[in-house]
Chains A and B, each alone.
Chain A
Amino acid sequence: MKVASHKINCITATCPACGLLCDDIALENNNNKIKVLTKGCEKAVSFFEQPVGDTTPLINGKPATLQQAIAHAAKLIKTSQQPLFAGLSTDVQGFRAIYNLAQKTNASMQHMNAQSMTRNLKVLQSSGWQTTTLTEVKNRADLIVCIGTDVVSHNPRFFERFVWAETALFTEPHRRQIIYIGDKYLKTKHGQQPHGYSAEHIQCTNEDLPEILAVLNALVLNKPIKAKQVCGVAIDQLQELADDLKDAQYAVLAWLAADLDFAHAELAIGQITQMVSTLNLNSRAAGLPLGGSDGDTSANNANTWLSGLTLNDEVIEHDLMVWVNSFGSEKSPKISEKPLIVIGNNSAPLPRSRVPSPAYGRGLLMNDKGQGQTTSAPQSQDSPQTPVISPSPVSGRGVGERSDAAQIPEVFIPIATPGLDCSGTLFRIDSSVVLPLMRVRENALPTLSEVVNRIEALL
């Protein structure tokens, strides 16, 4: 590289790594290598500093040209009777393209976060809800109850940006009261007031939440409770919380569907939204669903206006899977005998060998909850299998090389990541705010739309 072409640019970018879409991330582009300068959380750093990876498409693990890979993918899709387009980790523009292709090929669609999204949708579709958005939280909330989640494990900057803000329109941010209900492992230190009180933590297992929330609901409704405790939680403690909720100027009850990972978790969410409804008869309160990743809110919104229906988590019969994974290479589909086309991010190279490691036979497949993992790799936010990540001497910070855990796709087409390699549009977790993503580094990776349109042209 000539010195003359060596450029350093500073950019303020929007981060798609979680549902908060922080759009204040300062980046440095030093000759096409991105470094996060300020405001980046761990997830943002992993996202922006991921390497470009190998841009070569693969057919059965062997290098191919883009045209060959597209032609091969088109052939597979054409011969498939029941294609399933899964993963769907992309932005609005990418989703539109993949939706059109699904329409033309009679394919089914499922997002990688379908399970957690469905927990919320079940409540929305059975009773509706009363919710708020992040700017309202920042300026109004004087009491925030985090239910079954510490939020920060998924949305690292939640407290920094929306709770402990320097100033707010209608409340004193530093005096906000934070209460957690949930597992003892929750990281509650983020809820501590700056120079003030620690957050209260009502400890219980998440599976006990429906029962505890039912009692709390009764207390909010002024129904007498004879018991002294519920699931190990003192009724007096819940009574205090019920009183605080009623006295609050603007109480916010936050939950994160991905963290409510137990059977019929929608019942817990339903208890929360019911409580919000009751509180609003006399005072103001609002629910706040948090989390979000991999463009799930965007895919669900776009699917809804395009098809009239939400994405769901039904088990879908298929004879071919097209896995779309734009934002990070670490989430891959469950291993199956069905042919697999992967159109996605390639910051970590896919296995090229056709011989799977003996350790990953069919007997070790993940179930829907990611159980059955043989390693201590961090569990992904939602259900898809998290391939084993091992440190790689060549890759950048936070991103390792894949092991052979993932199925070798019949076709792999690397594509541009929105917000990094190409522009795009994403919905924030509260669905109200939609932000543009920008291209922050240069490379020749095609966008998902370009690849899909070229596949479509061959059908």
Chain B
Amino acid sequence: MDSLNVLVVGNSHTAALIRGLAKHSGDGLAHRYEIVNLNTLPNKSEGSKISEEVRRKIAALPADVIVSAIGGNAHNVFGLVRHPEPFDFVIPSLPQLALDEDAELLPYSSIAAIFRRKAELCARIFASLKREFRQPMIHLESPPPVPSEEHLRAYPGVFREKIAELGVAPAHLRYKLWWIMSDAIREACIALDVAYLPVPDFAKDEAGMLLEKFWNNDPTHGNTLYGALMLRHLDEYLGNLQRAGQPA
């Protein structure tokens, strides 16, 4: 099998991948990885498309496959900190998930619409990348939320004041918001013929949330080990595609 040049572009979730690659470089990865954190570039996007600066940066790097770790934090905007007017909702396909009966119950369709609008922003960037580059594209699902309130209080990051003021949203709500955001991004990927690589089950606990060994010392990202795990996961996925005779 040929070793592929894999270019990963994204926002804050690339930090774990970069650290994971640095710490575990050569640790059995079949492909070569270059990871670009767009947040470090002064000009990431121009309206709904990638900026000329990003376009030139990507074009200058060898890439057989482009992998997106773009976005993936919209759920934290709505649900990391307890909302001043607590809310909850039922996901029709997951009715067994916990529900906060004291919160205001909002229709699933309303919440789904919010995240569809958020996913449209990502979709525009994906479409822009696909217009500019011919390589196949894969999007990495963002890490599921950390279940532990204690951990979030211990490492509140930029949310320190808000968490101190309002508290942490219930874990089940944070999971639902992550799930619904992932679902919206997945739908956008399908529409744009972008492959969607979910977080493997072995990175999650029974409730579908991030296992403790992957928690970072901040409230929203995976740690170095998580970055390394996702790179291995991606590496295996690409290998499976090659074995199946499919382009990446």
The finding on whether chains A and B are genuine partners in a shared complex, rather than unrelated, reads no
Residue positions of B touching A, CB distance < 8 A: none
